[in-house]
Structure formats: C-alpha cells, structure tokens
C-alpha cells in the first residue's frame, strides 16, 4: 500500500505540474500570463510557437495573413505530422493584441463530447448580427502543440474535464495479477482448513474435558485447573471448548503464509530491477532502457493472450519513404520493401543480395541517405528522364508532386538546405522526391508556389511560379486532393492525387491509354506493403473554370447545414475527365525488428490486434508490411462507407442514419461469422472502421463482434478514437477472461493502456503521456518479444513455483503441530518452542524461496526465444492451476505425517540419557523441527531448475543456522 501510495503521489505531482502551466489570457485590455487552472470559457488566449494549447479553443487569427496555423497532434492521435488549421475570414483581421480591446462575439457550440474529429457550432460578431458556421478546421484541441506559427489567438470553448482529450481519458485502475487473485483463493482455502481443524480440536478438547472428572478425580491433573489463567475447567466444558477455539486459531496460524505476501513483494521488486537492467532491451540511439514502472504485474507478462497495439509510432517509425512509382505505364524504382525482403528470405531468392549490392553502388557515388527518399533508378535520376519515351508525362508527374500539397518549406540560412513541414509524412516524401528528381519546391506565398524546375530543352534549372487558385482538400470521404493552379503562361491546370478506386472513376477513357498497366503496378506495390496514390491532371478551359469558380465560391460562403456537401458537389464537377500520369508508392518504415517480433509472438500463440486512428488502406498496408496480414488470408471488412448509408447521411436524418448503420453492422458481422463457419482451415482477418466500431460495441452487438474477432487470425480497427480503443480493450479483457496487453506511444493510447491488464508505453518521439500511464515502458516495439517470452515466462514460472512451495512448507510445519495436538488431546501445548516457531518463516526457510523467485530459470533466454511455444505455459496457466496447488498442499500434509510419526517411532523407546531417562518434549520438538527444516530445504533443492551460488548459500545457510540453534 505504501508503494502504491507513492506511485499515486507521483502521478498527482505530474498533474499539478501540467495544470500550473501558464498561458497568455486577455484581461483588462492586455494579455497577461495566467495558470491553466484559472481559464474560463470565453477567455481569449494567445498561444505562441511550440506551446501546448491549454484548453479547446476556437481559432480567431494567427501570425499568417490568411489566418492559418500548423498544429502537432501527436498527444491526441499519435501522429507527428502537422495539421493545417484556418480561422474564419470573419476574425482573420485580429492580428495584434490591441485589436481585441473592442472585439465581442457570441459562440454557440455542441455540448462536451469525446469525438476528436467533429465540431458543430457558430459564431456571431456583435456588430454584424450574422451567424457563421464553425467546423473542426477552426478547433484547436488541448494538449496539441502550435508549430511553425509564431502565435495564434483563440477563444476558450471547453476547459478541464470538458475538453475532448479529457473526455477520452479514463480513470487509472488499480491492477492486480491473476496469480495474486488466485493466491487469495488459496489463502481462503487454508483459512477454511484452519477454522475446520480448530473446530475439530475444540470439540475434541471439550469432550475430553467433559469426561475428565471421574469419581471426583481428574484424569488430566497436569493441566492445572486450579490456575485461573488456564482455559481448562472440567466443570464447564462448553466454555473450555469455546476458549480453546481461539487458542487453536493462534496455534495453527502457521497454515496461513502471511510472510508470502512480503516475500512476493520483495521478489517482484528484484525482478523489476532485472527487467530495468536488461541490456538486450536497451535502446542505444535514444539512451532508453526498459522500465518496469510497477512491479505488481511481472507474472502477468508471462500470461498474455491478446496484444492490442497502436500503429503509428508503435509499429512504424511514422516516416514515409518514396521508393517506387509508375509513370506512363512504366514501373520505376529498384528498391526492395521489408515485405518483399521477408518473402525473398523465405523463398531463398537472390534478390536480397542483388539489392544490397545496388545500395552499396548507390552510396558509393557520393549520395548520402535522404529522409523520405529511398528511390533508385538511373533511368529517371540525375535528369536522365528527359531521354525517356514519355518525358513529357514524366515532367508533368514530377511537377504534380511538387505542387499538389500543403507543405511549408523552411530554408536553412547557413547551409541553404530546404526542409519541409507537412500535414502528413506522405506529402513530405512526395515533395522530397520531386526535389531529388529535379523539381524543387522552395517558397510558398499567399498567391502561390515557387519551383526550381529542370528545363528539358536546355537541361538547366529554371524558376517558375504557379498561382494557386484553389485547394480541394483531402478527406476520408473524398479520398483525394486537388490543386487548381495557373502557370506563367496563363494556362489553368487541375492536379489531383488520390486512392486508385476513386481516381480511376474520374479518368478520361480516351486519354488514359496505360490505365491497365498502371493498375497492375499498383497491385504489385500493394502486395509489397506500399501505400499507393494515383496522379492525374488536365488543363481547364476558361469558361469551365469560371463556372466552377462561381459554384465553389457560393458553396464556401454558404452557412447552411449542407455546406460540406455543396463544396463536394462543386469539386466533383471539376475533378472529371482527368488524364492519368501514373502512381506513387511510399513505404511507412517499420521499426527495426517489428516483423520478426510479431512473427515470434504469433508463434507463441499470442493474438495481435491493431487499433489505429489511420485510414483503412494505410492500416491494411502496414498489416502486410509487419506480417500481421499474410498473402492468402481472406479479409472480412466491416464498413459504413456504402452508397445506402452515404445517401442517408446526406439526408441528415440522424435517427434513420443510426438505425440503418446499426442494422448494416450487425448484418455484416453475421455474414462474417457465416463465412468463417462455412470455410475449412482458411485464415481470416477482420478489418473494421471507426464508424462501424461505434455500433459493434453496443451492448446487443458486442458479443457477436467479439466472437467474430476471436475467430479471425488478425484484427485491425481503423479510424478508432481513443475512447473506442479503450472500449475494445475492455471488451477483449472481459469477454475472453484472459490477460490482455495494450501497447502505444501517444496520449491517444492512454485509455487502452489503462484499461488493459498490462499497459506498455513506447518511450519514443510521441511524448511521455503513454509512458506515464503505463505499467512497463520500452523504447521499441521489438523489445516486447524479450519482455514477454523471456522475462514474462521466467516471472510467471518463478512466482507460480514460489507460491506452491510456500504453501507446501507452511502446511508441512502446521500439520506437525496439529498431529502433536491430536496426541495431547488438543490441550494447546506446542510441539516447538517459541523461538523456533518465530524463526521458521523468517530465517530458516525464507531465503531459499526468495532466491528461487529471483534467479530460477526453467529454460535459458536463448531457448525461450528459439522455442516461443514454451510461452504457452502462461496463457494456459499450466503452472498455477488448482490441481497443482492442491497437489503441493497434499504433499505438505504427507511430508508432515512422515516426519512426525518417523520422529516419534525413532525416539519412543530410546533411553539415551545417563540416568536412563527417555526423551522429553524439548528433544522431540527439536528433532521434529530439524527434520522439517531439512525436508523443506531439500525439497527446494529438488524444485529449483537453475542452481546458482546464491541458491546454494541460501539453502545450506538455513539448514546450518537451524542446526546451530537446535
């Protein structure tokens, strides 16, 4: 309790530290620094670069003229890429502190809720008397950070526990291992036995007392009934029996191994120190060791049945690399992905060595590794693309990569090198690839973008400006992004990129002659675990653009509920008859050793679920990359992105939408179960999106959903909110009744980390929120293999054997006392002296069992990793079943019976004193006591799997000290 109190106090100190941070609040005509705890709804706040937002804010303006800002949300959704936010034009003029002196407005918005991706509200400025709609584009969430923007002004709409991040938080539970809970059951059994034998002894003592008085003479005169302190009273046997019950409870109290709890706490603390100091779980690059933040759950690490993991930053590095592309029906790029490398290794293909030679040649040319760029093909690099047959298409392909994005370039004033801040790692990878291939994006203004382009006619770099007319942003519904630009010659183009399923519907049938070849390349890239996008463009006529401009501007200025639908309709008109350029393929690099780790964990019989906030396509690709999804594995997809549901959503009838969505999800779950039941030995993967998950977790559907998920080999939950992650974790934990482990790296993973039986935090680049909420922290996902298969297996084996042995040695000792009592008509006389009874658990038998709990190894670490199926001892609970516990208890009873009767038989007729006297109680007790200590210590020597010098010292020192004391 003291240890847990200290841990709770430390957590409270961390909370106090966060709440006492200061921010600038507009008060009495000026901005003054105020603690976060004093913020109130309606306060105007100024947040400066690299500061966290103290509450949920509505963005009013920023240091940029167009009132945009860049936000890092890694503490919310685990993403390190920047998100673009923009205020309404209505408030964008509030550029300095003084402008707020006469400013007043009214904001009406939704009630506090846990949905991170939606916000409904409106703002009305006092002078204008007109309402303007607010969207998630204007919402700045608490615990996200302002990046690449000098300052922003915002008004507080939610504070404290009303903020969306706090709405997604769950209270930290008190966790106990399943062995501890079952150990409580064993103690209850022993307590019942103690009460039973005490009752038996008391009844026998009462009956003997009742019949002790014969003809006025007492049979057991030596019990001294004349002593008022004695409970023996032949004239009142009922009272004597009742008082004897309490004597027996104290005397047989050694049946209850009270010291077991103290010994286990000490052992777990030492086990945690070994985990912390394991050099094989030390990450040298970040100087981060493993850290068991609590020692209560060591043995649970050896019983994990299901792992629920985040994706971004946990499985992956969240670092995209441009590795391949298809242009005009020709595939470019000679890189090998991790999925391809793993497949080649299994098939014995020589492609690995060939690739490695290619990489050596690539670096020997003087090229250094470039973040986001792992592309190698001499046909298009170093300007060689101008000699290709489709050089015009290639030029437009690279130009699209350099223009169609929302990145911000940052130029180092000293070195002149350009780096990019992007909303997503994909965009950064595309811009870097364009830069490396001759199309450098180096400046963005409100008007447009500036490029250094390779001119194919002259072979020289030229500067070109493209005026950005409109940006049609990416969304999960659109699954594409477009930019409309005008070049220096006055020509208007639309550049588009998006998912192949969406983009192919919008291609011109007459001018996309290599669509079939490109689709084949896309399929090959997907098989290699790569994320693909289709690139297309077309030139716009002035009349067509003018018509779109009018409709799009009207849609943007609309304040009706269907504003987003109007914008999408306008965009849909212009994003038609596109000319296919090709497709890109980027790789989200997995952390080192992730595929091998997942493979080992799967061989150990552990089920792995991925809970991610990413899109379905992204999660599926990573599933293939990390071997969670395998070739030939059938996919069961549950989604609400169907035409019927989309049509209902456009109608806006929430009741009808909810009813139809629920029916659709239940039907898809039912169909999935039928598919699995009808199949033979085929392997299935379940993939479900966040909307569907909302209905799958309802009380009347979650049981069927869990049955379907358990029947699948892999499960991926996409677009999951932090709350949903926690609810899924709770469902798996309670539904299976097995040990669940949740692992993540961001604040969005805190809920599931706290909800799981064991929470593991990745101490990486995503902040420390997950680590602070976790039970164990590691630096890389691959260390989970050793944490579970080695340390978890050892801790489970050690604690199980330790508890069983403790029960054995205490029962052996206690039963000898009971047997002696039965020979002395349960008079309450002890067989052993007081010192012997006190030192039995403290000195003579405690050290060996502690040493076993710390040092014992049933198999070496090498064999634990080589044969991962050994781990199944834990999930199947082979070492801590009731049959094993009762077996050890009976073994203790048998040992006590043999020792007691053998001691009596050997000394019964021995008159070994010089006066011919036979043994007295002290000799009998000392002999029996010595035999008990020898027996339990020798049993320890037999039980131990791995002898060390410390084990020898502990076992023999206990025997030696007992012999000396006797």
Which residues contribute to the annotated binding site for Mg(2+)?
A: 310, 312, 745, 749
Segments of 126-212 assigned E as strands? 131-134, 139-140, 145-147, 151-158
Catalytic residue among 310, 426, 856, 858: 310
Nearest to 757 by CA among 742, 767, 747, 768: 742
The question of whether 310 is a catalytic residue gets the answer yes
Distance CA 471, CA 493 (A): 12
The answer to whether the CB of 336 falls within 8 A of the CB of 355 is yes
- Identify the CA nearest to 896 among candidates 799, 793, 820, 791: 820
Q: Round to whole Å and give the CA distance between 947 and 852.
A: 9
Beta strand spans in 328-446 (E): 330-332, 408-411, 418-421, 439-444
Task: Please report, in range form, the residues annotated as the binding site.
Answer: 310-312, 427, 474, 497, 531, 612-614, 719, 725, 745, 748-749
Phi, psi (degrees; rounded to nearest 5) at 685: -125, 135
* Tokens found for residue 942: 């037999």
CA–CA separation, 692 and 696 (whole Å): 6
Residue 696, CA atoms < 13 Å, CB-side half-sphere: 32
Contact between 101 and 76 under an 8 Å Cβ cutoff? The reply is: no
Question: Is the four-CA dihedral 25, 26, 31, 34 of positive or negative sign?
Answer: negative
> Do 283 and 779 touch, CB atoms closer than 8 A?
yes
Burial of 681-718, coded b for 16+ CB within 10 Å and e otherwise, reads eeebbbbbbbbbbbbbbeeebbebbbebbeebbbbbbb
Tokens of 610: 């991925």
230: phi > 0 → left, psi -120 to 50 → alpha, else beta; which? beta
557 contacts: CB under 8 Å, gap ≥ 6: none
Run of H or E including 725: helix 722-736
Q: Which residue ranges make up the annotated binding site for ATP?
A: 310-312, 427, 474, 497, 531, 612-614, 719, 725, 748-749
- The span from the CA of 704 to the CA of 710, in Å, is 10
For 143, left (φ over 0), alpha (ψ -120 to 50), or beta? left
Annotated catalytic residues are 310
């Amino acid at each position: 309790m003291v240890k847990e109190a200290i841990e709770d106090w430390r957590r409270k100190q961390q909370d106090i530290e966060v709440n006492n941070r200061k921010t600038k609040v507009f008060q009495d005509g000026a901005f003054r620094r105020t603690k976060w705890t004093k913020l109130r709804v309606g306060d105007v706040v100024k947040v400066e670069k690299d500061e966290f937002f103290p509450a949920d804010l509505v963005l009013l303006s920023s240091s940029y003229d167009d009132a945009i800002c860049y936000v890092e949300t890694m503490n919310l959704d685990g993403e390190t890429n920047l998100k673009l936010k923009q205020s309404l034009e209505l408030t964008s003029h509030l550029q300095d502190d003084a402008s707020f002196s006469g400013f007043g407005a009214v904001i009406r918005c939704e009630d506090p809720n846990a949905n991170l991706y939606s916000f409904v509200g409106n703002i009305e400025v006092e002078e204008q008397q007109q309402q303007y709609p607010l969207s998630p584009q204007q919402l700045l969430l608490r615990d996200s950070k302002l990046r690449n923007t000098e300052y922003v002004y915002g008004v507080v709409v939610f504070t404290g526990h009303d903020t969306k991040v706090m709405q997604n938080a769950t209270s930290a539970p008190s966790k106990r291992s399943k062995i501890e809970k079952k150990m409580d059951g064993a103690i209850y059994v022993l307590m019942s036995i103690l009460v039973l034998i005490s009752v038996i002894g008391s009844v026998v003592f009462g009956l003997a007392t009742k019949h002790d008085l014969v003809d006025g003479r007492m049979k057991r005169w030596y019990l001294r009934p004349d002593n008022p302190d004695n409970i023996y009273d032949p004239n009142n046997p009922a009272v004597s029996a009742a008082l004897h019950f309490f004597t027996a409870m104290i005397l047989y109290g050694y049946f209850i191994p009270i010291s077991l709890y103290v010994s286990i706490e000490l052992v777990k603390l030492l086990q945690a120190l070994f985990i912390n100091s394991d050099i094989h779980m030390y990450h040298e690059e970040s100087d981060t060791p493993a850290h068991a933040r609590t020692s209560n759950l060591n043995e649970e690490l050896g019983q994990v049945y299901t792992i629920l993991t985040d994706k971004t930053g946990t499985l992956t590095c969240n670092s995209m690399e441009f590795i391949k592309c298809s242009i005009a029906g020709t595939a470019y790029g000679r890189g090998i992905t991790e999925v391809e490398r793993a497949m080649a290794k299994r098939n014995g293909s020589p492609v690995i060595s060939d690739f490695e030679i290619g990489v050596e040649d690539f670096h020997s040319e003087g090229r250094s590794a470039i973040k986001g760029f792992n592309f190698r093909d001499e046909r298009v690099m170093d300007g060689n693309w101008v000699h290709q047959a489709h050089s015009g298409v290639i030029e437009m392909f690279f130009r699209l990569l350099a223009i169609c994005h929302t990145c911000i370039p940052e130029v180092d004033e000293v070195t002149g090198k350009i780096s990019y801040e992007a909303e997503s790692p994909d965009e950064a990878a595309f811009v870097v690839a364009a830069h490396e291939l001759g199309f450098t994006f180096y400046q963005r203004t409100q008007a447009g973008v500036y490029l250094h382009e390779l001119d194919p006619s002259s072979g020289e770099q030229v500067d070109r400006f493209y005026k950005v007319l409109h940006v049609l942003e990416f969304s999960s519904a659109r699954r594409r992004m477009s930019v409309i630009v005008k070049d220096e010659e006055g020509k208007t183009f639309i550049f588009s990129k998006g998912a192949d399923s969406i983009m192919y519907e919008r291609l011109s049938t007459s001018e996309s002659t290599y669509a079939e070849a490109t689709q084949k390349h896309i399929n090959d890239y997907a098989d290699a675990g790569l994320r693909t996008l289709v690139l297309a463009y077309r030139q716009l006529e002035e009349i067509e653009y003018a018509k779109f401009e009018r409709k799009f501007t009207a849609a943007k200025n609309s304040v009706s509920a269907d504003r987003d639908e109007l914008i999408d309709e306008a965009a849909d008109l212009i994003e038609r008859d596109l000319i296919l350029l090709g497709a890109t393929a980027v790789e989200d690099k997995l952390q080192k050793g992730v595929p091998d780790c997942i493979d080992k964990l799967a061989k150990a019989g552990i089920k792995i679920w991925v809970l991610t906030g990413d899109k379905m396509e992204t999660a599926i690709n990573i599933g293939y990359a990390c071997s969670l999804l395998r070739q030939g594995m059938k996919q069961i997809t549950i989604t609400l992105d169907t035409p019927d549901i989309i049509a209902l959503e456009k109608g806006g009838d929430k009741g009808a939408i909810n009813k139809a969505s629920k029916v659709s999800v239940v039907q898809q779950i039912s169909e999935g179960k039928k598919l699995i039941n009808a199949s033979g030995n085929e392997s299935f993967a379940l993939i479900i999106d966040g909307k569907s998950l909302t209905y799958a977790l309802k009380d009347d559907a979650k049981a069927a959903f869990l049955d379907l998920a358990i029947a699948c080999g892999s499960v991926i939950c996409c677009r999951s909110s932090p709350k949903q992650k926690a609810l899924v974790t709770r469902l798996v934990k309670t539904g299976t009744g097995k040990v669940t482990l949740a692992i993540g790296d961001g604040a969005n993973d805190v809920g599931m980390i706290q909800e799981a039986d064991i929470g593991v935090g990745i101490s990486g680049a995503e902040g420390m929120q997950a680590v602070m909420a976790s039970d164990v922290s590691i630096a890389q996902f691959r260390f989970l293999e050793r944490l579970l298969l080695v340390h978890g297996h050892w801790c489970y084996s050690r604690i199980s054997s330790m508890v069983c042995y403790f029960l054995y040695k205490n029962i052996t000792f206690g039963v000898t006392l009971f047997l002696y009592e039965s020979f002395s008509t349960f008079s309450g006389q002890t067989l052993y002296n007081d010192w012997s009874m006190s030192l039995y658990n403290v000195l003579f038998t405690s050290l060996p069992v502690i040493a076993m709990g710390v040092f014992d190894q049933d198999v070496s670490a090498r064999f634990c990793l080589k044969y991962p199926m050994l781990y199944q001892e834990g999930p199947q609970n082979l070492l801590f079943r009731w049959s094993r516990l009762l077996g050890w208890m009976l073994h203790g009873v048998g040992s006590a019976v043999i020792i007691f009767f053998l001691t009596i038989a050997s000394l019964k007729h021995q008159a070994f004193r010089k006066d011919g006297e036979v043994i007295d109680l002290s000799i009998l007790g000392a002999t029996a006591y010595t035999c008990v200590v020898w027996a339990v210590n020798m049993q320890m020597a037999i039980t131990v799997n791995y002898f060390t010098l410390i084990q020898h010292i502990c076992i023999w020192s206990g025997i030696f000290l007992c012999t000396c004391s006797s």
